Amino acid sequence: MLLDFWNLTCILGILLTIFELLMTVNNLNYAIGGLTVLDLSRVLAGPYCTQVLADHGAEVVKVEAPIGDDTRYWGPPLQDGAAAYFTGLNRNKRSIVIDLAASDGRDVLHKLIESADVLIENFKPGTMEKWGLGYEDVLKAQFPSLVYCKISGFGENGPLGGLPGYDAVIQAMSGLMSINGEENSTPLRMGIPIIDISCGLYAAVGILMALNERMHSGVGQLIDVALFDTALSILHPHAANFLMSGSDPVPSGNAHPNISPYDKFPTRTCEIYLGIGNDPAFRSLCAHLKIDSVADDPRFGSNAKRVHYKTALRSILVGSLKDWDGEELADQLLRIGLAAGPVRTVSEVLASKQVTTRGCVLEADDYRGISTPIRMQRSATFGVKHKPPKLGQHTREILQELGFEPQRIDQLFTDAVVKDTNA
């Protein structure tokens, strides 16, 4: 019996080792497999960042307040009570609900941090400090390897430091709205929350940079990403133009302020966009349109001249394009190496062969979403490992993984410190 028990123990040990090796190999199939991310953020920038990480293998635990992420209710459209705004940002994550206003809730969070590589939050600056979980005062010493990313409206210093910020408001404050729209129009908000999305991407880049540095130093660090700073960083080329010329830029509509022809044009069948970035490309365009004399016109002999005479050039091109089939022309131009494309609606592009061939739309049961645009030669992506979670869907499961006793878990539910989808 003793020998049998010993053999059984050895066999179990070998099986466990094999399992761990298989899990390690499995994680290596993903660029950041094995990385644990604790996501305390909500709305857009933070969740966008963590979905990027989740798609490429990170285990992301989304910590939500009892009322849930605001975007769960930003609809219609809604499906099973969840808005498309939420589902578009939160796949491949698990959700736990914790009331962080309760001391027991903060204890649960502290336990979660113990196993996390990365923590990301976008609370109003000072909130984590108020809860006794500030990075500099507490977490840095307790968890020296933790990479801590905080997203805020304006950062913590400067006259606006610590104040709340929202994409559209910061589009207005940063100058982005002033360069959007037509020349004589009033400032116009961009049609997507471009600052939030860019901020989420910057946060992801910063996190990966810090993790790379940690491989050498062995310690984590604080990453401070502000929406306002992000807005300035993407104000290109308008900020660069101003810093060189001293002239305040004006909106140029669909046209590019520095390149011509780089604009939207009507054709017989549809509107197309031409992006002609250099002199050889301009000559090729004129040759294809059979207007070689335009390429020889001294007014259009260089990009700088074409920008100066862009109104006259546009008038000529509008006349030359009016009898062309736009779809056919755009395809012909692309195939001779010129940037051109038809102006499409969202429904048209999502039904296009390019989207279906590239697998740009993910589907799993009743879930549909846009896939990650990062395609790596050897590293896989999750696709849809987890559909966007219901509020607190994984609360009990995560508490069990953290080692909480069943009685303790039940008490946390009874005290409303945590909750799940059944609450």
Q: What DSSP string describes 199-214?
A: HHHHHHHHHHHHHHHH
From CA 93, how far away is CA 95, in angstroms rounded?
Answer: 7
Sign, CA dihedral 351-355-356-361, equals: negative
Question: Please, which residues bridge with residue 148 across strands?
Answer: 119, 222
Phi-psi category of 246—alpha, beta or left, where left has phi over 0 and alpha has psi -120 to 50?
Answer: left
CA angle 351–357–359, rounded 5-degree value:
85
| 3-class DSSP assignment, residue 312 | helix
Q: Which of 99, 196, 229, 263 is catalytic?
A: 196
CB neighbour list of residue 389: distance below 8 Å, 6 or more residues apart = 62, 90, 93, 94, 95
Instruction: Please give the Cα distance from 296 to 293 (Å, whole number).
Output: 5
- Residues 6 or more apart from 306 whose CB is under 8 A from it? 260, 261, 282, 299, 300, 313
Instruction: Verify cis geometry, omega within 30 degrees of 0, for the bond prior to 237.
Output: yes
Contact 267, 222 (CB under 8 A): no
Report the length, in residues, of the chain.
423
- Residues 342, 327: contact at Cβ < 8 Å? yes
H helices of 29-126, in order, are 45-55, 84-87, 103-114
Taking the C-alpha atoms of residue 60 and residue 118, their distance in angstroms, rounded to an integer, is 9
Helix/strand/coil for 96: strand
Q: Could you confirm whether 196 is annotated as catalytic? A: yes
Neighbouring-strand partners of residue 63: 96
Do residues 60 and 212 lie in contact, with contact meaning Cβ atoms separated by under 8 Å? no
Any idea which residues carry the catalytic annotation?
196
